[in-house]
Structures are given as structure tokens and as C-alpha cells.
Amino acid sequence: METLILSAEDVKSLITMREAISAVEEAFKLYALSEAIMPPKVYLYFKKGDFRAMPASIMGYAGVKWVNSHPDNPKKGIPSVMAVLILNNPSDGFPLTVMDGTFLTSLRTGAAGGVAIKYLARKDSRIFGFVGCGKQARYQLLAAKEICKIELVKAYDINKNAEEKFKKFCESLRVDCELKEPKEVCNCDVLITTTPSTSPVVRNDWIREGTHINAIGADAPGKQELEIELLLRAKIVVDDVHQALHGGEVNVAVSKGLISEKNIHATLGEVVAGLKKGREGNEITIFDSTGLAIQDIAVAKIVYEKAVEKSVGKRIKLVEME
């Protein structure tokens, strides 16, 4: 038996954002209905970054993603996030494929944002604000375009080069983009934050009623993008309660005793499955995204099955067979 090796280029050729949104939406639903297994992430911390091991079983497959987060890596000319994903057959444990997980991480994170917009944003949302214009902002925009008719993007990044690159990306998609200060960016229908900040970059009084926020940046203890007062005003939906309390947007407020699990309205999976309500009227909604292993396995399933169908990738004898 041989294991299929899939490079980043292989993976990119085998899945679209629309397919990823559908797969991630289904994964959230199955997890809410207890039809998936996902142990907590395992963290390995270092001075300049960390590693995470993310195992899960869903949709007939089991697997694990090994991913890093080193914010200073771009200064060395390498990505801040890199990942490898192994997909196994749960019935016998055989490693079916080893694939690049870096692109899949970006894709499925964007797809989760798309699912959140579908269920939590106002249906007439047209103006989108972006605080943070790096790589993930592009994937959030691609997902948002699958859900909404975007008329205008407002964007801000502390890195002006990133701002200009994001503006050009918007223009390549035929989306008007205006570079604004953070306060003006927050005057929008849907706000998307994708920064690695450890202090608020969005103030409570900048956000009007009816706004939906995808809070993507906080994915480890101590990270925070939104003022705590804003969390207290909003309906909070998370991807996973345990992960959100540990390292999501709510983690700082929880550590200070200002909010608790009781302040979390639902998981996104519960909303997708119809177990909890999504948007109700002109309220502020926040999706606290930490990133789940079930998302990785759901999109990896599509990639693997298409690769087999189209004979993409290279097969090798990876493990000893006796």
C-alpha cells in the first residue's frame, strides 16, 4: 500500500472556496450533532512562536494537522503559518495521504468566516470593513463574496504595504476598496478583524447596532482584538466553547472575570444545525473563530478524494509494511 503525497500546488488545484464553505458548514453541523470526534488542541510553546497538534475524526476519515504560528517569520522570508496534514483510514489506521496544510488552513479559516456571515450577518450586508490586511483578509474576502453582494470594502492595516496589496487584491476581484482609519473602517455592515494583536484594535463606541463581526485574529491566550465592552453588548457565537475560552477573542475577558461561558450564546454548529438561533433583529453579532481540526479534515477529504479521482500527486511507500 502506498501513501499519496500532495504538494501545495496539488492542493490548490483540487478545491474551491465554495466547496470549502459547504464542507466547513457541514462539519460544524456534524460536530454540534455529536457526529464528530475532536480532542482539544495540543500546544507547544516557544519564545518566538508555537506549534499546535490538531486531531479529529469526521466524515469517514481521521487525521491530524501539525501547524506553527511564528509572527516574525515574514522578516526571514517564510510564512508565519505553515502546516502539514495527515489523513488516515479510521478502520485500519493506514496513512492515506500527507498533504500541505498551509493553504488548507487559510482556506478553511476563510470558509468558516463565510459560514458565520451566512447565519449571523444581515442579509442586506453590502459594506465590509477589514482591520488587518494580511493573507487571511484575502481569504475572508473570497468567502464573503460567495455569500454577499459586496459593494464596498474599507480597509486598515498598520503595515501600509499590506494595505496597498489588499487594495490591489480587491480591485482584482472588481471590488471597490477604500483605505481608511480604523474608526471609519468600523462603520460597516460586516467587520472582519485578522490581526495578531494582544490589545484591542476595535473600540466599543465605533460599532453600531446591526453590525456583524468576524473576530479571526485571536487564536491563543492573551490575544485580543475587540474591547471587552463590545463583547458585553453583542451576541457571541464561537466555533468551539473550550477553545474560545482558552484562546479565542473572549479569552482575555474570561481571564479577568468580566465574562463567562454564560455570555456565549451558541456555537456556530448549533446555529447551522438549527439548535440555537442565529441573527435576531438589529443586534450586534460576533463570531469568535479559533480554528477547528474538523474544518481541516472536512476540506482535506475533498482534496484527497479529488486527487484519487484525477490521479494527482505522487504515491510513495511511506510506512514499513510487514
CATH of the domain at 131: 3.40.50.720
Residues 89 and 157 in one domain: no
Q: Residues 142, 283: one domain?
A: yes
Helix (H) or strand (E) holding 165: helix 160-172
Residues 253 and 308 in one domain: no
Q: Mark whether 92 and 155 lie in a shared domain.
A: no
Residue range(s) defining the domain that contains residue 302: 3-105+294-316
- For 284-313, write each residue's pLDDT tens digit: 999 999 999 999 999 999 999 999 999 999
Burial class (CB in 10 A: 0-12, 13-18, 19+), 205: exposed
Angle at which helices 135-147 and 17-32 cross, to 10°: 80
pLDDT in tens, 203-235: 999 999 999 999 999 888 899 999 999 999 999
Pair 300, 29: CB distance under 8 Å: no
Task: Determine the pLDDT at residue 319.
Answer: 94
> What confidence score (pLDDT) does residue 278 get?
97
> Given this model, what pLDDT does residue 74 score?
86
pLDDT under 70 in the chain at which residues?
none
For residues 218 and 186, state if they share a domain: yes
Number of structural domains in the chain: 2
Q: How far is residue 270's CA from residue 119's CA, in Å, rounded to a whole number?
A: 11
What residues does 279 pair with on adjacent strands? none
95 is a domain residue: yes
151 in the same domain as 32: no
Tell me whether residue 80 is in a domain: yes
- Looking at the structure, tell me whether residues 99 and 233 fall in a common domain: no
* pLDDT in the model for residue 241: 96
- Whether residue 204 sits in one domain with residue 222: yes
d(CA 181, CA 5): 45
Which residues are identified as catalytic?
A: 65
CB 213 within 8 A of CB 286: yes
* CA 118 to chain CA mean position, Å: 14
Residues 268, 237 share a domain: yes
Residue holding cell 466599543?
204
pLDDT of residue 244: 95
Q: Is residue 144 assigned to a domain?
A: yes
Please report the pLDDT score of residue 71 as a whole number.
83
Q: Judge if 159 and 232 occupy the same domain.
A: yes
